[in-house]
């Protein structure tokens, strides 16, 4: 019933144009024939071909995916544990320090996180490579996971857990059979967030990666410093396409889930 | 309702009275949906006018058009004889009390009440006096410095009322003003509203779905359904002489019996069941013989007795259900042929000695003036 | 029977401690300890060695080693930071860029958030998704996209020259303007989402009430919408301001050599000059700069939480 005023329509149009036009330009020019990125010279997919023949990029992509997968998985486990401790753990020695360490990495500038971890790895004599990147990414990603999961834990009805305990579950059983299924969506989005943060990270990876392991962002950064390249455009297009597919699918799935839930509720009401 | 006046307050019966608000053929459509359908209505100064109907009947849309938040698709709304169409909400001498109260959460009670005054051309020096006056009117003086979330629901309701009245509008609109209050508080507040309306002499238009509330506060009630006005009349008129089965059923408790009319001295005889004597009723309607009709009977008009009484209408039935309400009891009685009839009886005797119980055969009776004949 | 309960109790306690200790130790080892190392190196001296700083803690010497170690620490690096005007210029410039960029992001983000909250309800999930989508897309790529747009022969200059607005290309890339554009672009979702969240919760009838009481559209915006959006505006500003202060990618890709920001100075100090002690001191000061806004932000969040109740 409500109509948007022309001012609001303009704000939305300009705002979303600002957000999306740069990405659209990247996508369009990734199909440019010319090596000169800013001059249109006809449609071509040759840069995608070049990209897939570029061993260095492929290696970096492999490392990045491996790092992201491992660190997201460990971070999800640790972050969920940390969230549970924060919300349900009660009092214990050093709780304030614990919650401080959960929140601090969220606001810590990446350069500082990267620098400090690098100094640690050198101090303990750990060779820099995939392992050190994984450790670094896990540490900052687990904090994001724990924030996502604890926000879900805070909102859900505690009495459900208490009912499980009342029906004879041990606290661990109650967590596994009641709490975990309920917070599962938050745990999954935590994993996705950790995965994306790891895929995305340039600064921390630059500090903690050694000559033996280069991630995709490091590779992109060093080539982008020299200017725009059609291969990077093609790579960007692929990454944007993956993310867009993921986000759109996720929103459709959740939309359908909500619709189904509403339908079920309506059916239940009608049946009653 | 303005009982103290020497003359009965009934400007709607006076052809010379000048209405404050005139709706002339007002229609409002949202896409395909007609919310308000060709309404003509006059509301007079100092009235407490109630728009009553179920949700979705168009009463809120009608009110929002008065406030200026919606514009009529067709027709005109006149305030003091002037068309309101071109006047935006912030220029209308009309203020509204919102259902959610819409108190500004970031402002104190005092600043909420002063909000409209600061927007008017009232000199700054007078604003304080006016706000204090309003605070006194709604008895909220000690709470002036509080924020809305620091006072109770009933107090918030009064702040909303004071804020809307502060600018001394010609017309005050109240959108379900008491819906958020609990029952006890609602009753007290109804009388307070009437009191304030009388003190300030402001014309009130209230939107409500609660027929009891409308009956209590209003000088006239408009019963709405599907965007149309079914009946506009005083509460006693609406209750005693509803013009349709819908209105009869919507206002208060009633039994509707379907039948066919047959002219009879002083009115009609309604044939309602095989082998049963017709029910006689007086009516100003003109119906042809054999025309289908409704007979509406209010439960409190029906006498209940164990022995056969003498009256215009007497029927026998079996008690199926008794709803004991303390001061009175409602009997659900099944008549021969299955028709249910509701009857009420005041519990003047002590309940331990109440004589009628489930399954009893009892006699129900009422005079020919007590039922209402309605055409179908 | 009682033995069994005791056993399960002990098992439960064990599990609880494991649950607490695993993430706790992880964070201690990989967050707190590294940070203490940074603090320590920031008071050490640069050395031509591997690692390139001195002294190193030599615990094999026992108590004497620790004493020697502590005796050699000093605040030389911090004094150096105040003497060389590169550093305080970088801090000031970071602060200025962060403040200006935050204000610009607010100016761009607020109308969008406001319009989203006014949009029909069935559009809102889609609009939300459209705001969140860039957030999931690679930060690096989104910054990179602007290089092609802002460069001398870039799309923006081509476009403006084709329109005849300008005759010769504008120099935008490698100036602070490009940094501002980059920050506004990448951090816009962080500004839009909290403001949208507060505006969306707002009861429409408040605006109607304001108009009913005599406000024009503009007045009701100033007197009602804006004050009520304040918690969201504050949250959004912090979410942009805090990470911008230590930003590295945007100034190094879009800012060129003209734009000084601490994040980049620290990076260069570490990777180019290989002066780890000075890099560490830069980091410590940057962190101190960030603590104040973080504490203020937390206060705001807590107050908002209380008001929500």
- SS3 for B286-349 is CCCCCCEEEEEECHHHCEEECCCCCCCEEEEEEEEEEEECCCEEEEEEECCCCCEEEEEEECCC
- Residue at token pair 């909102």: A155
- For the record, the structure tokens of C204 come out as 């429409």
Q: What is the pLDDT of residues B267-276, one digit of tens each?
A: 888 888 877 8
Per-residue pLDDT band for B1 (boundaries 50, 70, 90) equals: very low
- In this prediction, residues A36-59 reach a mean pLDDT of 85
Instruction: Give the pLDDT confidence score for residue A145 in this predicted structure.
Output: 95
Range of weakest confidence among B135-144, B244-253, C83-92, C182-191: C83-92
Per-residue pLDDT band for C189 (boundaries 50, 70, 90) equals: very high
Domain B11-246 has CATH 3.40.50.300: yes
Q: Do B102 and C203 touch (CB under 8 A)?
A: yes
Backbone dihedral angles phi then psi of residue A89, each to the nearest 5 degrees: -70, -15
The CATH code for residues A75-223 is 1.10.3720.10
Q: Taking Cα atoms as reference points, which of C112, C103, C87, C286 lies closest to residue C183?
A: C103
pLDDT of residue A203 exceeding 70: yes
Instruction: Give the pLDDT confidence score for residue C33 in this predicted structure.
Output: 92
Output the average pLDDT for chain A.
87
ipTM: 0.87
Instruction: Give the pLDDT confidence score for residue B180 in this predicted structure.
Output: 81
Instruction: Give the pLDDT confidence score for residue C5 in this predicted structure.
Output: 59
Higher-confidence residue of B358 and C64: namely: B358
**High-pLDDT (> 70) share of chain A, %:** 98
- Residue at token pair 């509203």: B193
Q: Where are the domains of chain B?
A: 11-246, 253-375
If you count them, how many residues does chain C have?
A: 309
Angle at C217 between CA C212 and CA C223, to 5 degrees: 80
Q: Where are the domains of chain A?
A: 75-223
Separation in Å, CA of B119 to nearest CA in chain C: 6
Judging contacts by C-beta atoms under 8 Å, the chain B residues touching residue C228 are: 105-106
Q: Where are the domains of chain C?
A: 2-71, 83-308
Instruction: Give the pLDDT confidence score for residue B287 in this predicted structure.
Output: 83
Judging contacts by C-beta atoms under 8 Å, the chain B residues touching residue C202 are: none
The CATH code for residues C83-308 is 1.10.3720.10
Range of weakest confidence among B153-167, C82-96, C108-122, C237-251: C82-96
pLDDT of residue B5 exceeding 50: no
Start-to-end C-alpha separation, chain B: 32
Out of A112, A120, A202, the one facing C287 most closely (by C-beta) is A112
Instruction: Give the pLDDT confidence score for residue B328 in this predicted structure.
Output: 86
Residue of chain B whose Cα is closest to the Cα of C203: B102
pLDDT of residue A96 exceeding 60: yes
Q: Do C205 and B100 touch (CB under 8 A)?
A: yes
- Determine whether B7 is exposed, middle or buried from the number of CB atoms within 10 Å of its CB (0-12, 13-18, 19+): exposed
Which residues lie closer than 8 Å to C122 by C-beta, 6 or more apart?
none
Instruction: Give the pLDDT confidence score for residue C1 in this predicted structure.
Output: 42
Q: Give the residue from C202, C212, C218 with the most B CB atoms within 10 Å of its CB, the best one to mutate.
A: C212
Q: Is A28 on the interface with C (CB under 8 A)?
A: no
Instruction: Give the pLDDT confidence score for residue C47 in this predicted structure.
Output: 67
Output the average pLDDT for chain C.
85
Q: Do A81 and C19 touch (CB under 8 A)?
A: yes
Instruction: Give the pLDDT confidence score for residue A136 in this predicted structure.
Output: 95
Instruction: Give the pLDDT confidence score for residue B219 in this predicted structure.
Output: 92
Cα–Cα distances in Å, from B141 out to B156, B158, B162, B181? 13, 11, 11, 21
Instruction: Give the pLDDT confidence score for residue C76 in this predicted structure.
Output: 77
Separation in Å, CA of C185 to nearest CA in chain A: 7
Contact between A218 and A67 under an 8 Å Cβ cutoff? The reply is no
Helix A130-155 with C2-27: angle, nearest 10 deg: 120
Instruction: Give the pLDDT confidence score for residue C179 in this predicted structure.
Output: 94
C266 vs C279: CA distance, rounded Å: 5
Residue of chain C whose Cα is closest to the Cα of B69: C208
Contact between B133 and B114 under an 8 Å Cβ cutoff? The reply is no
If you count them, how many residues does chain B have?
A: 376
- In this prediction, residues B284-289 reach a mean pLDDT of 83
Q: What is the pLDDT of residues C202-229, one digit of tens each?
A: 888 899 999 999 888 889 999 999 999 9
Q: What is the pLDDT of residues C238-248, one digit of tens each?
A: 999 999 998 99
The CATH fold assigned to B253-375 is OB fold (Dihydrolipoamide Acetyltransferase, E2P) (2.40.50)
Residue of chain A whose Cα is closest to the Cα of C282: A112
C193 vs B306: CA distance, rounded Å: 73
Per-residue pLDDT band for B19 (boundaries 50, 70, 90) equals: very high
Q: Is C234 on the interface with A (CB under 8 A)?
A: no
Out of B96, B100, B106, the one facing C212 most closely (by C-beta) is B96
Q: What is the pLDDT of residues C26-49, one digit of tens each?
A: 999 999 999 888 888 888 777 666
pLDDT of residue C98 exceeding 90: yes
Instruction: Give the pLDDT confidence score for residue C55 in this predicted structure.
Output: 64
Full-model pTM:
0.83
Separation in Å, CA of C83 to nearest CA in chain A: 22
């Amino acid at each position: 019933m409500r109509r948007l005023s022309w001012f609001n329509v303009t704000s939305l149009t300009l705002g979303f144009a600002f957000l999306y036009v740069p990405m659209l330009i990247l996508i369009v020019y990734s199909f440019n024939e010319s090596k000169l990125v800013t001059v249109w010279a006809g449609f071509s997919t040759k840069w995608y071909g070049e990209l897939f023949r570029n061993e260095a990029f492929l290696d970096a992509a492999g490392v990045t995916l491996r790092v992201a997968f491992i660190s997201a998985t460990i971070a999800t486990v640790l972050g969920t544990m940390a969230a549970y401790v924060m919300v349900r753990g009660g009092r214990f020695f050093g709780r304030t320090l614990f919650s401080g360490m959960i929140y601090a990495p969220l606001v810590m500038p990446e350069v500082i996180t990267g620098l400090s971890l690098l100094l640690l790895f050198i101090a303990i004599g750990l060779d820099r490579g995939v392992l050190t990147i994984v450790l670094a990414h896990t540490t900052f990603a687990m904090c994001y996971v724990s924030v996502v999961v604890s926000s879900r834990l805070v909102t859900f009805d505690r009495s459900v857990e208490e009912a499980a305990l009342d029906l004879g579950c041990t606290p661990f059983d109650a967590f596994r059979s009641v709490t975990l299924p309920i917070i599962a969506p938050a745990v999954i989005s935590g994993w996705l967030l950790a995965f994306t943060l790891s895929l995305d990270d340039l600064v921390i990876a630059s500090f903690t990666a050694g000559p033996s392991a280069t991630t995709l962002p490091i590779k992109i950064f060093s080539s982008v410093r020299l200017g725009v390249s059609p291969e990077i455009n093609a790579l960007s297009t692929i990454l944007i396409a993956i993310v867009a597919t993921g986000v759109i699918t996720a929103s459709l799935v959740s939309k359908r889930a909500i619709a189904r839930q509403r339908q079920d509720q309506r059916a239940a009401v009608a049946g009653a | 309702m303005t009982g103290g006046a020497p003359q009965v307050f009934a400007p709607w019966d006076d052809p010379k009275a000048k209405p404050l608000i005139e709706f002339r053929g007002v229609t409002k459509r949202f896409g395909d949906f007609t919310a308000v359908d060709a309404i003509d209505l006059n509301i007079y100064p100092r009235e407490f006018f109630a728009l009553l109907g179920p949700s979705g009947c168009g009463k809120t849309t009608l009110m929002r058009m008065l406030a200026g938040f919606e514009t009529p698709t067709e027709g005109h709304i006149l305030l003091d004889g002037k068309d309101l169409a071109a006047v935006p909400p912030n220029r209308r001498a009309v203020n509204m009390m919102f259902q959610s109260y819409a108190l500004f959460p970031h402002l104190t009670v005092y600043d909420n009440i002063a909000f409209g005054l600061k927007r008017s051309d009232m000199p700054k020096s007078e604003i304080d006096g006016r706000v204090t006056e309003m605070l006194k009117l709604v008895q909220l003086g000690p709470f002036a410095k509080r924020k809305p979330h620091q006072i109770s629901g009933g107090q918030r309701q009064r702040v909303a009322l004071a804020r809307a009245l502060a600018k001394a509008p010609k017309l005050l609109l109240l959108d379900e003003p008491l819906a958020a209050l609990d029952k006890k508080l609602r009753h007290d507040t109804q009388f307070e509203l009437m009191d304030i309306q009388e003190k300030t002499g402001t014309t009130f238009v209230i939107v409500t779905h609660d027929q009891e509330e409308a009956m209590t506060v209003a000088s006239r009630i408009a019963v709405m359904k599907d965007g149309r006005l079914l009946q506009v009349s005083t509460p006693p008129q609406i209750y005693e002489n509803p013009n349709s089965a819908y209105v009869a059923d919507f206002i208060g408790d009633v039994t509707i019996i379907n039948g066919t009319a047959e002219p009879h001295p002083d009115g009609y005889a309604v044939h309602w069941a095989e082998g049963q004597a017709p029910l006689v009723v007086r009516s100003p309607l003109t119906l042809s013989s054999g025309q289908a009709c409704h007979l509406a009977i209010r439960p409190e008009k029906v006498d209940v007795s164990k022995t056969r009484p003498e009256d215009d209408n007497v029927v026998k039935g079996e008690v199926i259900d008794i709803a004991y309400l303390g001061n009175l009891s409602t009997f659900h009685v099944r008549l021969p042929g299955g028709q249910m009839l509701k009857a009420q009886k005041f519990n003047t005797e002590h309940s331990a000695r109440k004589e009628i119980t489930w399954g009893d055969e009892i006699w129900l009776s009422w005079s020919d003036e007590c039922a209402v004949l309605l055409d179908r | 029977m009682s033995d069994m309960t005791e056993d399960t109790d002990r098992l439960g306690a064990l599990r609880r401690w494991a649950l607490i200790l695993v993430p706790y130790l992880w964070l201690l080892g990989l967050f707190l300890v590294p940070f203490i190392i940074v603090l320590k190196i920031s008071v050490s001296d640069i050395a031509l060695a591997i690692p390139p700083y001195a002294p190193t803690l030599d615990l094999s010497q026992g108590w004497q080693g620790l004493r020697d170690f502590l005796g050699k620490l000093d605040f030389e690096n911090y004094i150096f930071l105040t003497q060389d005007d590169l550093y305080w210029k970088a801090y000031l410039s970071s602060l200025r860029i962060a403040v200006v960029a935050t204000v610009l992001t607010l100016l761009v983000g607020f109308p969008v958030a406001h319009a989203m909250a006014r949009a029909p309800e069935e559009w809102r999930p889609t609009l939300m998704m459209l705001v969140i989508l860039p957030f999931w897309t690679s930060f690096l790529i989104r910054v990179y996209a602007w290089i092609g747009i802002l460069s001398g022969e870039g799309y923006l200059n081509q476009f403006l020259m084709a329109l005849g607005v300008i005759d010769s290309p504008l120099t935008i890339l490698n100036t602070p303007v490009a940094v501002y554009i980059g920050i506004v672009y990448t951090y816009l979702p962080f500004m839009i989402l909290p403001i949208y969240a507060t505006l969306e919760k707002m009861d429409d009838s408040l605006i109607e009430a304001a108009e009913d009481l005599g406000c024009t559209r503009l007045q009701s915006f100033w007197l009602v919408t804006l004050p009520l959006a304040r918690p969201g505006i504050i949250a959004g500003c912090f979410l942009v301001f805090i990470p911008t202060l230590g930003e590295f990618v945007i100034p190094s890709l879009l800012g060129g050599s003209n734009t000084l920001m601490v994040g980049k100075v620290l990076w260069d100090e570490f990777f180019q000059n290989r002066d780890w002690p000075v890099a560490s001191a830069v980091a410590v000061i940057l962190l101190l700069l960030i603590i104040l806004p973080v504490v203020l932000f937390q206060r705001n969040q807590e107050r908002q939480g209380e008001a929500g109740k």
